[in-house]
Amino acid sequence: MNRPKLYCWLCAVGLMIALILGMGATPAFSADKAEYRTVQVNNAKVHPKAKSLSKPLVRLPIRAKVEALGVTGKWTKIKTGPPRSVIGYIATKSLDPKKKGLFGDTSGASEQERSMAARGYNPKVEAKYRQNNPNLEAAFSRLAAIERDSVNKVDEAQAEAFLNAGGVTPRE
Amino acid sequence: MRSIIRAKSLGIVLSIRPGGWSLLLLVGAAMGLGGCAGIKWNKDFTPKNKYYIGRSVSAQVLNQYKVYEDPQATRYVNLLGQTLAKFSDVPEPYKGYHFIILDSPEVNAFAAPGSFIFVSRGMLRICATEDELAAVLAHEIGHIQHEHGVKVIRKSRNWAGLVKIGKFIAQATTDSEIAELADKFGDDIGNAVGTMLRKGYGRSAEKEADSAGIEIMHRTGYDTNAVITMLKKMEKRVKPGSTGFGSTHPSPSVRIDAIKSLIKSPPAKANAARQARFDKALMAARQ
């Protein structure tokens, strides 16, 4: 085999290895064909049925990994990881978006741009924004008090009781 | 010299100079290593990002409007709003929904990203039933479901100026980077507040929010005819060119025409208990 040919073959083998590495890192196409998703909200509720007012079986922390088993309307059927493996339904919008294509949306520059820009909205940047806008401090404090006010939080049981008392029957 | 690879089964022919292989190899390796390092190339705004956008937008709102301090009315509006939100496609945003009554005679309601929803006393005054208030709140939840506030920022952002691969990986940790992002953050918040309070999200966004609101009401069990009733009231009360709802929403008659076909059930009978709790909870707020 002459040298240029050998060079080409070595490059081809290297490329294949690199591509396999890339594919392996894409969760949607892992070896066992399972699809894994990440929880994106605090205390995500896993419901026993695909019903909005069913009492949650368990709550998952942000960044928890789950195995996606299927989609029913706005719900994704999932299986949680060990130690306590639970199968139930979670709102699809509470999970990270499903990857598109073999490598996800790697080709669109605007997606990369959005990804970068989205990272601009974080506590550090908000702190700097507040420092730059001291006139908003009273409003931020009021907002924090509203967020802390547990009296105005509504769980599934309270929502169900509220609807029952008002003679409202869900059609879900 | 060119090397040619033929993969007949896939119908692909690659024809690349030897030097070109190095480039392909690098691209492949970057994809592989990028994946291994956990860098997510296809992420958009996460619920957490939306929450931080919404908090600053909401602070701007509270800088312009006073919160109406009435625990009974606030509890009732949250019971109704959060119950409706559970039936939406976004039942659990990053830190939950918050419904806030504004002490303003203006007829208005708006939704900031991150699930802060505002309704004015002026709007509460023109709602005569719980179903009508549900129509208003479900419409605002529809805006959050369709991310209309975030879309304003997506459109306005100077994305290209932020694409620096090193910074992308480092996630902006230096003081100057944070200062730069805070400036851009400020511009974006200004844009979002201006659209939400003055310009409005536009006709197609309002149609999407109307449609989502009707679906949320239907799933929850409320009378979807209340949407039409509310829009007819708005038509009488809100004059073209007025501030608040009149300046941010298309004409109610246009909206009624667009959504008539979505209302499937006949008007429901009034429920005495539902009406009594509405009247009691909002008695002071509607004066």
User: In chain A, what are the domains?
Assistant: 25-106 (2.30.30.40), 122-167 (no CATH)
How far from each other are the two terminal CA atoms of chain B, in whole angstroms?
86
The band of B199, judged by pLDDT with boundaries at 50, 70 and 90, is confident
Mean pLDDT of B14-20: 44
Residues B19, B109: one domain? no
Residues B10, B128: one domain? no
Q: What is the pLDDT of residue A103?
A: 41
Report whether pLDDT(B220) > 80: yes
Q: What is the pLDDT of residues B180-190, one digit of tens each?
A: 777 878 888 88
Element (H, E) at A145: helix A137-148
Q: Is A76 helix (H, G, I), strand (E, B) or coil?
A: strand
Q: How far is it between the farthest Cα atoms of chain B? A: 87
Residues B131, B10: one domain? no
Mean pLDDT of A73-100: 88
Of residues A95 and B187, more confidently modeled = A95
The C-alpha atoms of residue A101 and residue B115 are separated, in whole angstroms, by 31
Interface of A with B in 19-38 (CB under 8 A): 19-22, 24-26
Q: What is the pLDDT of residue A166?
A: 97
The C-alpha atoms of residue B282 and residue A53 are separated, in whole angstroms, by 26
Q: How many Å lie between the alpha carbon of A158 and the closest alpha carbon of chain B?
A: 8
Closest residue in A to B161 (Cα–Cα): A113
The amino acid sitting at A52 is S
| Backbone φ, ψ for residue B7 (5° rounding) | -115, 85
Least confident range of A90-99, B115-124, B215-224: A90-99
Q: What is the pLDDT of residues B137-174, one digit of tens each?
A: 999 999 999 999 888 877 765 554 444 433 443 455 67
In this predicted complex, what is the ipTM? 0.79
Q: How many Å lie between the alpha carbon of B10 and the closest alpha carbon of chain A?
A: 16
Q: Nearest by CB to B185, from A105, A111, A121: name it.
A: A121
Q: What is the pLDDT of residue A6?
A: 73
Report whether pLDDT(A12) > 90: no
Asked, for residue B191, whether it belongs to a domain, the answer is no
The C-alpha atoms of residue B130 and residue B275 are separated, in whole angstroms, by 7
Report the number of distinct structural domains present in chain B: 2
Q: Nearest by CB to A139, from B18, B63, B220: name it.
A: B63
Q: Nearest by CB to A118, from B31, B44, B93: name it.
A: B44
- For tokens 């592989």, name the residue: B32
Asked, for residue B86, whether it belongs to a domain, the answer is yes
Interface of A with B in 49-88 (CB under 8 A): 52-53, 62, 74
Q: What is the pLDDT of residue B42?
A: 32
Asked, for residue B161, whether it belongs to a domain, the answer is no
Share of chain B above pLDDT 90, in %: 47
The band of B240, judged by pLDDT with boundaries at 50, 70 and 90, is low
Residues B78, B205: one domain? yes
Asked, for residue B84, whether it belongs to a domain, the answer is yes
Q: How many Å lie between the alpha carbon of A101 and the closest alpha carbon of chain B?
A: 11
Q: For residue B109, how far is the Cα from the chain centroid?
A: 13
Residues B139, B269: one domain? yes
The C-alpha atoms of residue A21 and residue B247 are separated, in whole angstroms, by 54
Q: What is the pLDDT of residue B241?
A: 64
Q: What is the pLDDT of residue B3?
A: 39
Asked, for residue B8, whether it belongs to a domain, the answer is yes
Instruction: Look at A74 and B277 and tell me if their CB atoms are within 8 Å.
Output: no
Mean pLDDT of B70-97: 96
The band of B121, judged by pLDDT with boundaries at 50, 70 and 90, is very high
Specify the DSSP class assigned to residue B244: T
DSSP states of B157-173: --GGGG--HHHHHHTS-
Report whether pLDDT(B2) > 60: no
Report whether pLDDT(A146) > 80: yes
The C-alpha atoms of residue B203 and residue B262 are separated, in whole angstroms, by 17
Q: What is the pLDDT of residue B71?
A: 96
Report whether pLDDT(A45) > 80: yes
Residues B14, B134: one domain? no
Report whether pLDDT(B84) > 90: yes
Residues B216, B261: one domain? yes
Q: Angle at CA A70, nearest 5°, toward A64 and A74?
A: 80
Mean pLDDT of B127-132: 97
Q: What is the pLDDT of residue B37?
A: 36
Residues B108, B29: one domain? no
Q: Nearest by CB to B43, from A4, A12, A115: name it.
A: A115
Asked, for residue B287, whether it belongs to a domain, the answer is no
Domain around B52: 47-151+197-282
Q: What is the pLDDT of residue A19?
A: 56
Asked, for residue B15, whether it belongs to a domain, the answer is yes
Q: What is the pLDDT of residue A51?
A: 95
Chain B contact for A170 (CB, 8 A cutoff): yes
Of residues A92 and B248, more confidently modeled = A92
Residues B15, B84: one domain? no
Q: How many Å lie between the alpha carbon of A157 and the closest alpha carbon of chain B?
A: 10
Computed over every residue of chain A, the mean pLDDT equals 80
Closest residue in A to B25 (Cα–Cα): A15
Residues B204, B266: one domain? yes
Residues B205, B277: one domain? yes
Instruction: Look at A111 and B44 and tell me if their CB atoms are within 8 Å.
Output: yes
Residues B115, B144: one domain? yes
Share of chain B above pLDDT 70, in %: 75
Q: How many Å lie between the alpha carbon of A57 and the closest alpha carbon of chain B?
A: 15
Share of chain A above pLDDT 90, in %: 52
Asked, for residue B176, whether it belongs to a domain, the answer is no
Closest residue in A to B222 (Cα–Cα): A168
Q: What is the pLDDT of residue B103?
A: 98
